[in-house]
Amino acid sequence: QVQLVESGGGSVQAGGSLTLSCVASGHVRSRTNMAWFRQAPGKAREGIVYIGSAGGTFYGDSVKGRFTVSQDNDNNKNTVYLQMNNLEPEDTAMYYCAAGPSCGGCYVLSSQTYTYWGQGTQVTVSS
């Protein structure tokens, strides 16, 4: 089992910044892959950024160059951060942290890659 707790959402004006955090605890191998997803009302859930236990990252086109993912690991938990800069109204969504075990040949921004999900944190960007 893995527990994920997100924080850091809020409201900001276009061009502003926010940093989201996700604290992951539990079975280490089940959180080898970590990612952030988002879902806006009426839209499908979108994978936006991935980070692996070894530090490898992958960004979706919609956030590349504006968002940065990082992590801090210790023996019992890892914290994944999502620094979001130059926010746009189109970034308004519920943001979810996800975790999953290592998987060969899987697409790291597909929701099917992940087993565990956080409760979500709302980000609202006004124009």
Give the pLDDT band (50/70/90) at residue 96: very high
Task: Check if the beta carbon of residue 81 is closer than 8 Å to that of residue 21.
Answer: yes
Q: What angle do CA 26, 37, 21 make, to 5 degrees?
A: 55
- The predicted-structure confidence for 100-124, as pLDDT tens digits, reads as follows 999 888 999 999 999 999 999 999 9
Decide: helix, strand or coil at residue 113: helix
- The predicted-structure confidence for 5-27, as pLDDT tens digits, reads as follows 999 999 999 999 999 999 999 98
Indicate the Cα dihedral angle 109, 88, 67, 113, nearest 10°. -10
Q: How far from 103 is each of 15, 31, 32, 62, 100, CA to CA, in Å?
A: 36, 11, 9, 24, 8
* pLDDT at residue 74 in the model: 82
